[in-house]
């Protein structure tokens, strides 16, 4: 059942003591392969199972908006796990020290964590593995087809990745087993105080929590059901119109693992009306999303110009001396003070709500390339703003999306222009022909 989904990062003799799941990317009790795997180990050895989350004091510039969404979701996880007699413990501190400390304190005999391609997580896992003496396993609970099974190398584009992933869907797009009430008890009783935990964090509090999207597993499930019922059949037509609420809004839930992409795909396939909407949505959810993990897993320069394909680096370099009509500083960008009202509106949408429309994200990042001078500066500005304000920021989808817009990742060369070279260009005029630009501007800058 877990074949291909897990790998053992460290061998070791398991001693007495509970199995622990170090939850990190997949913050849910339902449909979680890492949790199910940890429970299967514990059941086999007839020992307790405990789940913990290591709350880092800072994480890639995350602000109150993202920490609040995450912690409120984790509070629900604590309750759902308690119903299955599985304790959930919130551990505070830097994971390289806090996780080995937890393992020692609770006499953990076997450790399981979830897969994440980001470099910071790779570093955490490496540090933890070198400081513990027990078996340590990693389970890909985020991708439907585990990242390293989908492909063993960085893929060029969706067209090269699609056939690989489709060939493996039959094996991996399966139903989930049930998480059982755990019969062996650890005696641990831990409850974390949500408001106190949030208020103690030394983070940027100027980026406020969002009020239009409620966090947690139950809300994620409701959002999915609402999308299938009301929006899926029109998705192919509506998703590229920023004046319409045509997307699923699932990305914050998917980012924090509050819903499993596999559950989303199963429900869409079973309950979604047949048609273009379903096809287009599954392409985004499966091919595009898992391609982003492929990019970040195999290309450790996913957040640097070094990670761009050779043709893109060459063309950007060739145009580095082109005269820029206008340059905007990071401060001007952040405060939406450019001449382009459409761009300003998209920046405002992101700052106010924590979720810029998907179509506008492409336009937004491409204009940052035109206005930032060097591509390195453009990439840095886009990542900084994306990760500061988006609820779904700090995600492989974000790094891949920005690298696509600015550095041609997963794309091809287009007609050559000044400044942006052969990188695909998007224009204000092009947007005007696609949707009611004035309405979008009114909505977010008015």
56 binds, among ligand FO1, ligand FAD, none (CB under 5 to 8 A by kind): ligand FO1
Residues 290-329 that bind ligand FAD (CB under 6 A): 292
165 binds, among ligand FO1, ligand FAD, none (CB under 5 to 8 A by kind): none
Over its C-alpha atoms, the chain yields an Rg (Å, rounded) of 22
Report in angstroms how near the CB of residue 367 gets to ligand FO1 at its nearest.
Answer: 24
CB of 105 within 8 A of CB of 131?
A: no
Report in angstroms how near the CB of residue 253 gets to ligand FAD at its nearest.
Answer: 8
Q: Among 144, 31, 18, which Cα is nearest to 80's?
A: 31
Q: How distant, in Å, are the alpha carbons of 7, 71, 114 from that of 111?
A: 12, 22, 11
Q: How far is it, in rounded angstroms, from Cα 253 to Cα 53?
A: 17
Task: List helix spans (H) across 247-357.
Answer: 251-255, 261-271, 276-282, 289-298, 310-318, 330-334, 341-353
If binding means CB under 6 A, how many residues of this protein chain bind ligand FO1?
16
Binding of ligand FAD by 393 (CB under 6 A): yes
Among 54, 71, 232, 365, binds ligand FO1 (CB under 6 A): 54
How deeply is 82 buried, as exposed, middle or buried, from its count of CB atoms within 10 A (0-12, 13-18, 19+)?
A: middle
Binding of ligand FO1 by 116 (CB under 6 A): yes
249 binds, among ligand FAD, ligand FO1, none (CB under 5 to 8 A by kind): ligand FAD
Nearer to ligand FO1, 115 or 235 (CB): 115
Binding of ligand FAD by 349 (CB under 6 A): no
Sketch the per residue contact string, 251 through 270, with ligand FAD: x for CB under 6 A, - otherwise.
x--xx---------------
Binding of ligand FO1 by 25 (CB under 6 A): yes
Binding of ligand FAD by 405 (CB under 6 A): yes
Q: How far is it, in rounded angstroms, from Cα 251 to Cα 285?
A: 10
Among 52, 67, 281, 389, binds ligand FO1 (CB under 6 A): 67
Residues ≥6 apart with Cβ < 8 Å to 306 = none
Residues 356-375 that bind ligand FAD (CB under 6 A): 358, 361-362, 365
Binding of ligand FO1 by 66 (CB under 6 A): yes
CB of 292 within 8 A of CB of 401?
A: yes
Sketch the per residue contact string, 251 through 290, with ligand FO1: x for CB under 6 A, - otherwise.
-----x----------------------------------
Q: How far is it, in rounded angstroms, from Cα 48 to Cα 41?
A: 10
Token duo for residue 65:
């908006």
Q: How far is it, in rounded angstroms, from Cα 413 to Cα 314?
A: 11
Q: CA angle at residue 433 from 361 to 366, to 5 degrees? A: 30
Q: How far is it, in rounded angstroms, from Cα 255 to Cα 26?
A: 8
Residues 148-187 that bind ligand FAD (CB under 6 A): none
368 binds, among ligand FAD, ligand FO1, none (CB under 5 to 8 A by kind): none
Q: How far is it, in rounded angstroms, from Cα 232 to Cα 236?
A: 8
62 binds, among ligand FAD, ligand FO1, none (CB under 5 to 8 A by kind): ligand FO1
Choose the stretch contacting ligand FO1; rule: CB under 6 A; options: 58-66, 313-321, 337-345, 373-381.
58-66
Q: Among 312, 6, 273, 247, which Cα is nearest to 142's?
A: 6
Binding of ligand FO1 by 343 (CB under 6 A): no
Q: How far is it, in rounded angstroms, from Cα 256 to Cα 212?
A: 17
155 binds, among ligand FAD, ligand FO1, none (CB under 5 to 8 A by kind): none
* Residues making contact with ligand FAD (CB under 6 A): 239, 247-251, 254-255, 284-285, 288-289, 292, 358, 361-362, 365, 386, 390, 392-393, 395, 397-398, 401-402, 404-405
Residues that bind ligand FO1 (CB under 6 A): 24-25, 54-56, 59, 62, 66-67, 70, 116, 118, 256, 393-395
């Amino acid at each position: 059942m877990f074949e291909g989904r897990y790998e053992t990062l460290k061998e070791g003799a398991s001693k007495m003591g509970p199995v622990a799941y170090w939850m990190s990317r997949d913050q849910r009790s339902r449909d979680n392969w890492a949790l199910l795997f940890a429970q299967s180990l514990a059941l086999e050895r007839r020992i307790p199972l405990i789940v913990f989350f290591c709350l880092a004091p800072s994480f890639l510039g995350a602000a109150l908006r993202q920490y609040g969404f995450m912690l409120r979701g984790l509070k629900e996880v604590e309750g759902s796990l308690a119903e299955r007699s599985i304790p959930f413990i919130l551990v505070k501190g830097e994971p390289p020290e806090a996780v080995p400390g937890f393992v020692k304190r609770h006499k953990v005999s076997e450790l399981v964590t979830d897969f994440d391609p980001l470099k910071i997580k790779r570093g955490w896992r490496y540090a933890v593995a070198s400081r513990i003496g027990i078996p340590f396993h990693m389970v890909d609970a985020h991708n439907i087809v585990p990242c390293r099974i989908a492909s063993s190398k960085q893929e060029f584009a969706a067209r090269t990745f699609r056939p690989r992933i489709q060939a493996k869907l039959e094996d991996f797009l399966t139903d989930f087993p049930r998480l059982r009430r755990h019969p062996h008890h650890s005696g641990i009783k831990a409850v974390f105080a949500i408001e106190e935990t949030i208020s103690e964090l030394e983070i940027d509090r100027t980026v406020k929590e969002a009020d239009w999207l409620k966090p947690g597993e139950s809300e994620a499930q409701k959002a999915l059901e609402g999308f299938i019922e009301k929006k899926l059949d029109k998705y192919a037509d509506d998703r590229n119109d920023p004046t319409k609420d045509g997307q699923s809004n699932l990305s914050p839930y998917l980012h924090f693992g509050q819903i499993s992409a596999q559950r989303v795909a199963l429900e869409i396939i079973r309950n979604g009306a047949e048609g273009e909407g379903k096809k287009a949505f599954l392409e985004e959810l499966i091919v595009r999303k898992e391609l982003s993990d492929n990019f970040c897993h195999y290309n450790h320069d996913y957040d640097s110009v070094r990670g761009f394909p050779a043709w893109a680096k060459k063309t950007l370099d060739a145009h580095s001396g082109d005269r820029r009509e206008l340059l905007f500083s990071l401060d001007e960008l952040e405060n939406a003070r450019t001449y382009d009202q459409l761009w300003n509106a998209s920046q405002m949408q992101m700052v106010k709500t924590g979720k810029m429309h998907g179509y506008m994200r492409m336009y937004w990042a491409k204009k940052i390339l035109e206005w930032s001078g060097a591509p390195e500066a453009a990439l840095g500005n886009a990542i900084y703003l994306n990760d500061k304000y988006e609820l779904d920021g700090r995600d492989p989808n974000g790094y891949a999306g920005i690298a696509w817009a600015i550095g041609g990742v997963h794309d091809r060369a287009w007609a050559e222009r000044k400044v942006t070279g052969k990188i695909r260009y998007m224009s204000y005029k092009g947007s005007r022909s696609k949707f009611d630009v004035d309405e979008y501007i009114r909505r977010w800058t008015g």
